[in-house]
Amino acid sequence: MDMFLAGLEMVATPTALAMIVAGLLIGIVIGAIPGLNVPLAVAIALPITFSLTPIGGLAMLVGIYKGGTYGGSLSAVLINVPGTPAAAATALDGAPLTRQGKAGKALKMSLYASIIAEFISDIALIAFAVPMALFALKIGPAENFALGVFALTLVGVLAQGNMIKGLIAGTLGLFLSTFGVDPLTGDFRLTFGFRELAGGWAFIALVIGIFAVAEVLGVVERRLTREAQTGKVRLGDPQHSLDRDDWRRSLPAIGRSSAIGAFIGAVPGLGAAVSAYLNYGITRNMSRHPERFGEGAIEGVAAAESGNNAVTGTTFAPLLTLGVPGDVITAIMLGAFIVHGLIPGPLLFAQQGDFVAAFFIMMLLATFLHLVIGRLGMPLFIQTTRLPNAMLFPVILVLSVTGVYVTTHNFLDLFVMLGFGILGYGMNRFGFPIAPLLIGFILGPLVEVGFRQAMILSRGSLDIFVTRPIAAGFLLLALATIAIVAWRETRGRQVPS
């Protein structure tokens, strides 16, 4: 109790509160702009935090992290251009809802699902930080491979009804992830003699290309088919409001995705994009009406967004308890801890108990303020639907080019972005789903590195994947998913539509 009160005293200062609000505002803006990413914003804000109190500085960084993770969904829902890779899963159903004139519904569900997931993740961090971190350390290469394979089966889920094209897209995504230097041996592969390809395809260029540029090319082909809304858009209108049925569909998805996402957050190296797609796929697979997904299913938005934001709390578990940063953002934040004389790890809890309590309170407070700011900003965000195509889409292209440039500072990546834009446009035009390609690209390194490292550990024996219980469990889940997909595909062919 003393620790709690001492922690509360550290957080309940105008500086700490102002830093959380500033961080959230910056994060939401950065997250919503395609190409700008949260690690970039956290890295830029890092020096600012040096002059603040430890909790004040970290409050700003946590605000940016939480705001940025959510911000990507705004552009995904409103203009079908995900601000972050993880928000691409939100776009699958959020953008169709906007096209149906229900942008407010999608935005509200996106915010509320994010907040519930963040809250559950914060509580999981506070209650189970140590056991979660210790369990996460048991996730080795074999488990990473098995989890990757399980997540890859979602390609089949997302491709239902168009299996061959979905599988081609998913395999192509995996293949694209293998370009450049081999992460294990350092050998060059598929570079065709170009030094610029040594690092592989820039992730940000691929994501922005196949979503933003492809969307713009599709719109310019059809020219002004999207009618801009006239008059002020009001969130209270029935088509923008969440009803009881929306919540009935979404709450189970939010609960499940938050739990799975909180676990994924604690495992170093997985991250929000894996969680968002994994939860979207699981929710679709468990749905009695999977055909509604991709057409504006509100539970699709709920699953993707809660999966996305559920990592934001537990990603700190390995950092705080073991001193192991799980991703780029927590690695940058580790710098902020060290600069302020705080060494994350077991001793942090023993020697700086007040600070740990303050950190936990600050996480919860940031989640609450996220809800307030997100809700207050929503009437403003939704006015984007009033912008005519002629103005909006050229600006999206400029934002895309700018976002890729500021991330990579490489003009070649702008052409890579355009190339993937043309590929995405062609895929849309000829009925190839884009989501499997992105999933394959995200999971490729996890699957390949996991498999090869596991083979080295087991000296070439495949037994490692069945003798380790967690890996075997994930592989069994993968088999079950394949069986369900195959059964549905067969049944779909038998039942005339």
Partner 1 sequence: MTAMGGMRRVPADAWIGLVLLAVCGVLLNDLLATEGSGAFVKTTTLPTALVIVIGLLSVVLLGRALWHAAGTRPAAPGAGVDPAAAREARAGLLRVGAMVLGIVAYILALPWLGYFAATALFLAGANLLFGNRRPVSLIAVALLVPLALLLFFERFMLVLLPSSRLLG
Answer whether 326's CB lies under 8 Å from 266's CB. yes
DSSP string, 355-417: HHHHHHHHHHHHHHHHHHHHHHHHHHHGGGGGS-HHHHHHHHHHHHHHHHHHHH--HHHHHHH
The nearest distance, CB 352 to partner 1, in angstroms, is 32
441 binds partner 1 (CB under 8 A): no
Q: Tell how many helices (H) and how many strands (E) occur in the chain.
A: 23, 2
The nearest distance, CB 390 to partner 1, in angstroms, is 4
The nearest distance, CB 182 to partner 1, in angstroms, is 4
From residue 442, give the alpha-carbon distance in Å to each of 123, 164, 203, 255, 272. Answer: 28, 20, 9, 24, 11
Rule CB under 8 A: choose which of 5, 127, 347, 395 binds partner 1. Answer: 395
* 228: Cβ contacts below 8 Å, ≥ 6 apart: 385, 386, 387, 388, 389
DSSP string, 445-488: HHHHHHHHHHHHHTTT-TTHHHHSHHHHHHHHHHHHHHHHHHHH
Rule CB under 8 A: choose which of 5, 127, 184, 476 binds partner 1. Answer: 184
Element (H, E) at 188: strand 188-189
Rule CB under 8 A: choose which of 195, 222, 232, 244 binds partner 1. Answer: 222
Nearer Cβ to partner 1 (43/470) = 43
The nearest distance, CB 397 to partner 1, in angstroms, is 6
CA atoms of 265 and 271, how far apart (whole Å): 6
Nearer Cβ to partner 1 (189/386) = 189
Rule CB under 8 A: choose which of 130, 134, 137, 168 binds partner 1. Answer: 168
Please provide residue 71's backbone torsions phi and psi, each rounded to the nearest 5 degrees. Answer: -55, -35
Nearer Cβ to partner 1 (415/487) = 415
Interface pattern 342-381 for partner 1 (x via CB under 8 A) = ----------------------------------------
Interface pattern 414-433 for partner 1 (x via CB under 8 A) = xx--x--xx--x----xx--
Instruction: For the segment 457-486, give every residue that binds partner 1 (CB under 8 A).
Output: 459-460
Report H helices in 267-327. 272-286, 298-309, 311-314, 317-322
CA atoms of 149 and 339, how far apart (whole Å): 39
What is the CA angle 389-394-399, rounded to 5?
125
215 binds partner 1 (CB under 8 A): no
DSSP string, 89-118: HHHHHHHHHHHTT-HHHHHHHHHHHHHHHH
CA atoms of 198 and 60, how far apart (whole Å): 35
164 binds partner 1 (CB under 8 A): yes
Rule CB under 8 A: choose which of 182, 196, 227, 237 binds partner 1. Answer: 182
The nearest distance, CB 44 to partner 1, in angstroms, is 6
- Buried-state track 154-177, b at ≥16 Cβ within 10 A, e below 16: bbbbbbbbeeebbebbbebbbebb
Residues listed for the chain: 497
Binding segment for partner 1 among 88-96, 126-134, 176-184, 199-207 (CB under 8 A)?
176-184
Interface pattern 261-280 for partner 1 (x via CB under 8 A) = --------------------
Rule CB under 8 A: choose which of 198, 456, 483, 486 binds partner 1. Answer: 456
Binding segment for partner 1 among 10-18, 39-47, 196-204, 270-278 (CB under 8 A)?
39-47
Size of the site for partner 1 (CB under 8 A): 58
Q: Which residues pair with 180 in a beta bridge?
A: 189
CA atoms of 169 and 52, how far apart (whole Å): 48
Side-chain-side CA neighbours of 132 within 13 Å: the count stands at 31
Nearer Cβ to partner 1 (44/338) = 44
Nearer Cβ to partner 1 (274/423) = 423
The nearest distance, CB 413 to partner 1, in angstroms, is 10
Interface pattern 224-263 for partner 1 (x via CB under 8 A) = x---------------------------------------
Rule CB under 8 A: choose which of 12, 127, 372, 398 binds partner 1. Answer: 398
CA atoms of 444 and 149, how far apart (whole Å): 10
The nearest distance, CB 427 to partner 1, in angstroms, is 10
**Cα dihedral sign for 107, 113, 116, 120?**
negative
Rule CB under 8 A: choose which of 189, 234, 248, 493 binds partner 1. Answer: 189
Tell me the two tokens of residue 391: 């103005």
Rule CB under 8 A: choose which of 112, 451, 465, 474 binds partner 1. Answer: 451
Which residues of this chain interact with partner 1, rule CB under 8 A?
40-41, 44, 164-165, 167-168, 171-172, 174-175, 178, 182, 184-185, 187-190, 192, 213, 216-217, 220-224, 388-391, 393-395, 397-399, 401-402, 405-406, 411, 414-415, 418, 421-422, 425, 430-431, 448, 451-452, 455-456, 459-460
